Amino acid sequence: MTNQAETDLPVLSVRNVTIDTIPGGAKPIVRDISFDVRAGETVCVVGESGSGKSVTSMAMMGLLPKDALRVTGGQILLDGEDVLSVSEGRMRALRASKVSMVFQEPMTALNPVKTVGEQVDEVLRIHTKDSRAERRRKVLSMMERVHLPDVERIYRSYPHQLSGGQRQRIVIAMALILRPRLLLADEPTTALDVTTQKQILKLIKELQEEEGTAVVFVTHDFGVVSEIADRIVVMNRGDLVETGDCRQILSAPRQDYTRMLVSSVPSMQPRCAPLTDQPKVLEVVGLSKRYGKPGKSEVLAASDITFTVRKGEITGIIGESGSGKSTVARCVMRLTDPTEGAVVLQGQDIAPVRNLRAVRQKVQYIFQDPYRSLNPRRTIAQSLMEGLVNYGMPEREAREKAARTLELVNLPAAVMERYPHQFSGGQRQRIAIARAIVMEPDLLIADEAVSALDVSVQAQVLALFEDIRERTGISVLFITHDLRVAAQICNALVVMQKGCIVEQGATRDVLTNPSHPYTRALIDAAPAPDWDFQNFRPLPLAV
């Protein structure tokens, strides 16, 4: 497609679209949304969970689940043709040829029992009359365009034989092989590591510029938005809050909700100095963890890990998936037994201790997924009191203490008799934090504890961590993949790659003056490193 008359007519025009559940709820889940996307333009639809952003993009593909959701009003014009009123057959013809989609989970978006070559080929098979050889040639050339290596081999590979980034490239190849006018990308990089994310964003941009494709990019991540968006559509609970060009939304949002959302994004600016004069709470010395049999099948999940956490300090362990950061945390907690090394807690090495009960009280753990870390069948009171009662506290006393701790995490004691399913994700994570600190541990391990939360909730929970540290002087080992979050609250950082520590030191030093190329690469890959979201302006000092 070349740019001819498209400049005046938008490729996509969403007009007053309303989407409701079947049967209709009290309030439609998407209400009266309107926006346009022009050829070659990238429009980011930003919102938190429950904003209706994904549902809107599914409606554009005509892929809303038939028995659960339906569009009750408005038009979705694709080059002037209303996709909401075309026939099933016409909609099928439009898919992949005029409008394509890239999904969030590259791990599950491809059929596991067919080769990826077959799956890309299928698009050509149903939409073109090309011969088998012709199709094969086109598929291979498209695979080259998405920068896959060794395309002949990849063609014959099954999805499980490829990495997450490679799979996402296959999905993109599939989406763009027919040169559609519009590409819908639904959180296409959320499940990927930050370095892979950067490559995929670059790839989408590159192909978009070559073909003049219009792109609708659905995301929750303002970092990504600020990198790629021409214009931004902000959604909140089914309403369109505001639209504007990228710079305007980031520097001068008009609506309170947008202001709150943008300012919740942590900046890459280190805020906390290291606490060198405090006593050591945790010393990990030469810790290693190997899986499998020594020799061929051995996997080194963590190797020769040594670091220290001081009283009142928040130490971050940073790394991408597979870096071994969670393995280290689990070894410190003794949820996993370390193969070698010492874990010295308040002067006592707990690595060889067999009776775990004795050490468990001093270290507590907060899990990533607040939906699975609370037993759904037990009340909040039962969950909070369990540890105290295990260690011999009378029930009445434990109940009082649990109630006091709930208030510390900003939840009223009145919620004690409720069950976890009655709370939102952020509230559950507060409960999980309360369950940990009620034990009065010396060390708190937070394993990606804010990763599953929306950005505004994440900001609240991060503030809560700092608040608790202030009040109780607790030490925190904070495991995260997110440099921004680490910059926000950590005093010191440990950077891990492939099971080894590549660099550690004060947060400020590591982020502003990294000594290892991998740390440098991580910082470079983080989207929008130079924007101070909290203050709606560029960072004064380039990091």
Partner 1 sequence: MSSDTPAPEPQSQTLSLPEMEGGGASGLRAVLGGILSSWSARISAAVLLIIVLMSVFAPLVTSHDPIQLDPAIRLQPPSAAHLLGTDSYGRDMFARIVYGSRISLLVGAGTVIVALLFGMIIGVLTGYFRWVDAVLMRVMDGLMAIPGVLLAIALVAISGGTLVTVLVAIAVPEIPRVARMVRGVIMGVRNEPYVEAASVLGTGMWPMVWRHMLPNTVAPLIVQGTYIFAAAIMTESILSFLGAGIPPEIPSWGNMMADGRLYFLLKPELIFFPGVMVSLTVLSVNMLGDVLRDRLDPRMAKRL
Partner 2 sequence: MLSFIIKRILSAIPVLFMVAILVFLVLRLAPGDPAVMIAGPNATPDQLQQLRESMGLTRPLLEQLIIWLTNMAHGDMGTSLISGKPATELIMDRFGPTLALSLSTVVLAIVVAIPLGVVAAWQRGKVLDRLVMGLSVLGFSVPVFIIGYVLILVFARILGWFPVQGYQPLSNGFVPFAQRLVLPSVALSFPYIALIARIVRTNVIEVMNEDYIRTARAKGLKESAVLMGHALGNAAVPIITIIGVSIAMLIGGVVVTESVFNIPGLGRLVLESVLARDYTVIQAVILLFSAIYVVINLVVDLLYGVFDPRIRY
- Which span (91-99, 333-341, 364-372, 447-455) binds partner 2, by CB under 8 A? 91-99
Tokens of 384: 């909070």
Distance of CA 36 to the CA centre of its chain: 27
- Amino acid, res. 260: M
The string of DSSP letters for 126-190 reads HH----HHHHHHHHHHHHHHTT-SSHHHHHH--GGGS-HHHHHHHHHHHHHTT--SEEEEESTTT
Q: Tell me the C-alpha distance between 143 and 148, whole Å.
A: 6
- List the end-to-end C-alpha distance of the chain, in Å, as a whole number: 40
220 binds partner 1 (CB under 8 A): yes
Q: Tell me the C-alpha distance between 315 and 386, whole Å.
A: 28
**Binding to partner 2 in span 152-171, by CB under 8 A:** 158, 160, 171
Please name the residue that has the structure tokens 């014959």: 156
Contact with partner 2 (CB under 8 A) among 122, 130, 283, 386: 122
What DSSP element (H or E) covers 367? none
Q: Tell me the C-alpha distance between 94 and 352, whole Å.
A: 63
Q: Tell me the C-alpha distance between 173 and 147, whole Å.
A: 10
160 binds partner 1 (CB under 8 A): no
58 binds partner 1 (CB under 8 A): yes
61 binds partner 2 (CB under 8 A): yes
Answer with the entry of partner 1, partner 2, none that 536 interacts with (C-beta below 5 to 8 A by kind). none
Contact with partner 1 (CB under 8 A) among 75, 118, 199, 367: 367
Nearest to residue 163, comparing CAs of 139, 199, 127?
Answer: 199
Residue span 454-493 as binding mask against partner 1, x where in contact by CB under 8 A, dash where not: x-xx--x---------------------------------
- Amino acid, res. 113: V
217 binds partner 2 (CB under 8 A): no
Tally of CB atoms within 10 A around 241: 19
72 binds partner 2 (CB under 8 A): no
421 binds partner 1 (CB under 8 A): yes
Q: Are 86 and 299 in contact (CB under 8 A)?
A: no
Answer with the entry of partner 2, partner 1, none that 296 interacts with (C-beta below 5 to 8 A by kind). none
70 binds partner 2 (CB under 8 A): no
- Which span (239-247, 408-416, 474-482, 503-511) binds partner 1, by CB under 8 A? 408-416
Cis peptide, bond prior to residue 159, ω within 30 of zero: no
Answer with the entry of partner 2, partner 1, none that 150 interacts with (C-beta below 5 to 8 A by kind). none
Q: How many residues bind partner 1 (CB under 8 A)?
A: 64
Which CB sits closer to partner 1, 344 or 393?
A: 393
Contact with partner 1 (CB under 8 A) among 187, 193, 482, 503: 187
Helix (H, G, I), strand (E, B) or coil at 100: strand
379 binds partner 1 (CB under 8 A): yes
87-124: buried (b, 16+ CB within 10 Å) or exposed (e) per residue? Answer: eeeebeebbbbbbbbbbbbbeebbeeeebbbebbbbbb
Contact with partner 2 (CB under 8 A) among 9, 22, 126, 463: 126
- Which span (37-45, 274-282, 305-313, 412-420) binds partner 1, by CB under 8 A? 412-420
- Helices (H) and strands (E) in the chain — how many of each? 19, 22
- Which span (42-50, 151-159, 246-254, 276-284) binds partner 1, by CB under 8 A? 42-50
143 binds partner 2 (CB under 8 A): no
- Which span (7-15, 95-103, 252-260, 347-355) binds partner 2, by CB under 8 A? 95-103
Q: Minimum distance between the CB of residue 99 and partner 2, rounded to whole angstroms? A: 9
Which CB sits closer to partner 1, 36 or 369?
A: 369
Contact with partner 1 (CB under 8 A) among 27, 125, 372, 520: 372
417 binds partner 2 (CB under 8 A): no
Contact with partner 1 (CB under 8 A) among 14, 176, 177, 439: 439
Which CB sits closer to partner 2, 94 or 487?
A: 94
What region does 499 belong to: left with phi over 0, alpha with psi -120 to 50, or beta?
Answer: left
Contact set with partner 2 (CB under 8 A): 61, 63, 67, 92-97, 100-101, 103, 105, 108-114, 122-123, 126-127, 158, 160, 171, 174
